[in-house]
Structure formats: structure tokens, C-alpha cells
Amino acid sequence: MTKTQDLISPIDGSVYLSRDVLSQEAAFDAAKRAKAAQAAWATRPVSERVALVRKAGEIIGAQQDRMTTELAHQMGRPVRYGGEYGGFNERLTYMADVAEESLAPMEVEDSTSARRVIKRVPWGVVLVVAPWNYPYMTAINTVAPALIAGNTVILKHAAQTLAVGDHLAEAFYAAGVPQDVFQNLVLDHDTTSALIAERAVNFVNFTGSVGGGQAMEHAAAGTFTPVSTELGGKDPGYVRADADLEAAVDGLMDGAMFNAGQCCCGIERIYVHESLYDQFVEKAVAWVKGQKLGNPLEQDTTMGPMANIRFAKEVRAQIDEALTDGAKAHIETMPADDGGAYLTPQILTNVTHKMRVMRDESFGPVVGIMSVKNDDEAIALMNDSPFGLTAAIFSRDAQAVEAIADQLETGTVFMNRCDYLDPALCWTGCKDTGRGQGLSKLAYQALTRPKSYHLKKA
């Protein structure tokens, strides 16, 4: 009997679509085809691979209405925000622009006696396991440079966003990328682990939970297959005494609440200098009360449901536990809150780091706010986390911010902004957030291996 995977829409709990799960035998056959196709793909000029990837991006760009509507149905993002093409295209375009330079051989010597050079060569088959929260942008982060670098790609998209994998595959095929070079497969966990454990793939890129990342590394144990991970986050924001208060409120609250708080680098805890604390909380509460929770297909909705009832259940549990332990909630239950996927965004004060809401990843529309006396206290609290993805500091003093940033245990530090991936900068993390090099020129180093040539002529 064929196993199926159902995508439950958070809009109304209905089955949006179903897909057959590939058998293990079929999955290994797909990996063999990808491996067989890789050598010919890698011999194509970089410029040709770049052109095909750019063309696929253009095809997606011509279908933004489809992207927007399907995202609303799959994971609840309001249609008013227009999908993800802006960030998708920015990342794809940058990686295409820097490909030739990033993949160019490093020449050490070319004389009458010897030629010495280091070349970048593709790993082979790259397995991309993509998440549902920004399903186009997170997938293209690796898919585009992996293909451009000469790898073949197997994409396993999240069960919550199966249609995104379909859409990407259609676009790449329409652009002229051979079907064995890019494959979108519906796989279960056991088959995914088996592909890794039996070396059917040569590189793994995983974005998701800490537990998921551990499963990937366990599967790869002893195979020497590289595993790149971006896992959980509990990203902090810090408002210094010299900050522009209005900009800090707008930036940090958007960072905490956009996409129903389901952002890899969303703001989950905020530390405010005591001189601005009361004003910040007052303005932040007003900001959140101005949001409209509702059906994401309606244009006036600013916040849709969480992608799945079980995600909302965890956020509610963290909030309830914090309230029991003395936290204060500032937002009354909104009319659209149904106790399920539709969850009222919440601001909590009187919080401490003993509470899960300030310690565990929430990945939902809740943020705790604490008062701090100075930079040293803020640094200590920001670093008091098992995660290390990003941190955001609002201040008018760039020199002071950089000095603080040097002491933070994160992959990225923002000043006067948050919740953004700059494709020219390396996307990486530390601690339980995982390890890897995404975007920037460094992504090409991660998605290839160095190969040295020492050619003695005489």
C-alpha cells in the first residue's frame, strides 16, 4: 500500500493536497540518476548553469500570484504581503552574479617549470531538506548555488509546503535544467536517513529543528558526508539608551510578529535599557494591538494562523507557563483566536530566563521584554541561550554596537534592523543553531571541495 503525505491547510484544517511518498527503492533509484547526471552537468560552463538558474527564477517571478495564494493555503501567510519573490530573487541573483569569481581556480604558479593551482570541484549530489516557514527563500539559498557549482540536487521540501517543491521543479524544468539534475522528492524520515547513511548523496543541507539536525548528523555518522545545518533560534533584540525609540519598536515588533512569528531569525526576546523600558513597552503593545488576526486570503488581514495547530499549542503552553510563574500578558484575546492555529500575538513582561518562553524556541507570535541597566547586562542576557543565530541592536553609536557585537555568540549581528538575510553576507550560526555557510561567496566554498593540482613540467 502506497504511503501518502497530507498537507493540512491552517486556514480551515482541510486537506489542501496529498502526495504519494516515494518508496525507499524509488528514492535510491532517483539518487543513482542524480549521481549519473552530475558529471555531464558539471562539464557545462558556469555561465550556462548560471543562465539556466536565472531563467528558472524568472519563471517563478512571472507566477507570483500563484506563489502568494499557495503560500496562504499552505502555511497561512496573508496574501497582502505578496509571497516571497523579492527575497527569493535577491538571493538567486546575487549568487548568480558572484558565481564565476567564487568558483574561479586559485592559481599559485604557472611557470616554465610547474603549474600549481587549486580548483573548486562539486561534491556530487546535494540533498536539500528545506523548511516550511520561508519555503521559497530557504530552498533557493542552497539550490541555486549548488546547481551553479555543478552539483545535482535532490530537494526534500517540508510536508507543510509540498506545493513549493512542485513549483520549483516545474520552473527549473521549464528553464531547461535536466530532470535528473534537479529532483523534487517526497520522502519520509526513514528514507531520508537511509539515503544519507548509505552514501547515496554527497552533501546534506538541512534547515529545521535541533532534533531534525541531530537526526541528519546521526545518519551521516561514519560516512564523512558533510552536513550543513541551520537549526533553532532564540534571537534577541537590544534597545540601547541612545536608540531611536520609534524605529526600535517598529523594527523589533515586526521582527517578532511577522509571519506569525515563524521566522528563523525572528525576534523572540527583547532587552531594553531601563531609561526607555516603559515607553518601549507602551508603544510595542500599541503596535501589536494594531494587528488584525484573521483569514490570510483577506487583504486586510495582517497576521494569519500559525502553520499548524501543534505549533500554536507549543506557543500557548509557553505563554501559560510564564503567566503561572508571574509574567504579565498585555494583549487581550483577539476575536479570530480559535484556540487552534489562529493565535493572538502576545507581549509578556515580568519575565525571567527561568521561563521557557525566554529560553526555548517559541517560533510563534510571542515576545518577552526585560529591562536592563547597561550593555554588560544586555550582553550577558543575550548570550544566555543555547542558540546563536542573530542578534539585533538598536543604537545611534555604530562603534559601540560593533564592540558589543564582538562579544555576542551569534552568526550575525544587526544594527537598527533585524530578521533579514543579506545574500552578500554569510548566513551561519553557532551553538545549537548548528553550523554551515549559506549565501555569500562562502556558500560556494561549502558546496564544493578544493582540489589541488601540482603539474611539474620539467
Express each pLDDT in 92-120 by its tens digit.
999 999 999 999 999 999 999 999 999 99
- Cβ atoms within 10 Å, residue 266: 28
CA-to-CA distance for 226 and 41, rounded, in angstroms? Answer: 21
- Cell digits of residue 151: 552539483
Predicted confidence band at 373 (pLDDT cuts at 50, 70, 90)? very high
Within 10 angstroms of residue 338's Cβ, the number of other Cβ atoms is 13
Report the relative pairing of strands 390-394 and 125-130 from DSSP bridges. Answer: unpaired
CATH no., domain 235-422: 3.40.309.10
Residue 458's pLDDT is 78
Q: What is the pLDDT of residue 133?
A: 96
**Residue positions annotated with a catalytic role:** 230, 264
Question: What stretch(es) of the chain map to CATH 3.40.309.10?
Answer: 235-422
CA 433 to chain CA centroid, nearest Å? 11
Write out the three cell numbers for 26: 524509488
Q: Read off the pLDDT band of 445 (50, 70, 90).
A: very high
* Residue 2: per-residue pLDDT: 85
CA distance 223 to 219: 8
Comparing CA positions, the residue from 205, 393, 165 lying closest to residue 402 is 393
Average of per-residue pLDDT across 127-152:
98
Q: How many CB atoms lie within 10 A of CB 176?
A: 12
* Span 153-157, average pLDDT: 98
Name the segment(s) of the chain with CATH classification 3.40.605.10. Answer: 4-231+434-456
Span 77-81, average pLDDT: 98
pTM: 0.97
Per-residue pLDDT of 215-232, as tens digits, reads 999 999 999 999 999 999
Number of neighbours of residue 61 by Cβ within 10 angstroms = 15
CATH of domain 4-231+434-456: 3.40.605.10
- 286 φ/ψ sector (left φ>0, alpha ψ -120 to 50, else beta): alpha
Distance CA 201, CA 127 (A): 6
Task: Give the burial string for 112-129 (b: 16+ CB within 10 Å, else e).
Answer: eeeeeeeebebbbbbbbb
Q: Look at the chain and count its residues.
A: 458
Q: Give the C-alpha separation, 313 to 240, whole Å.
A: 33
Asked if 203 and 151 count as a contact pair (C-beta separation under 8 A), the reply is yes
Continuous H helices in 17-81: 24-43, 46-61, 64-75
Q: How far is CA 223 from the centre of its chain?
A: 26
Place of cell 530557504: 138
Q: How many CA atoms lie within 13 A of 174 on its CB side?
A: 15
Separation CA 262–CA 137 (nearest Å): 14
Element (H, E) at 412: strand 412-415
Q: Return d(Cα 438, Cα 305) in angstroms, integer.
A: 29
State the Cα–Cα distance between residues 183 and 206, nearest whole angstrom.
Answer: 16
- Average pLDDT score over residue span 158-165: 97
Task: Give the pLDDT score at 332.
Answer: 98
Contacts of 312 (CB under 8 A, 6+ apart): 305, 306, 340, 341, 342, 343, 364
Instruction: Tally Cβ neighbours within 10 Å of residue 28.
Output: 16
pLDDT band at 239 (very low <50, low <70, confident <90, very high): very high
Residue 124 CA, chain-centre distance (Å), reads: 23
User: Residue range 248-257: average pLDDT?
Assistant: 98
d(CA 114, CA 454): 7
Span 195-214, average pLDDT: 97
Cα 177 from Cα 173, distance rounded (Å): 5
Which residues touch 223 (CB under 8 Å, ≥6 apart)?
A: 196, 197, 199
Whether the per-residue pLDDT at 1 is higher than 90: the answer is no
Output the CA angle 200-206-210, nearest 5 degrees.
125
Mean pLDDT of the chain: 98
Work out the average pLDDT over 410-420.
97
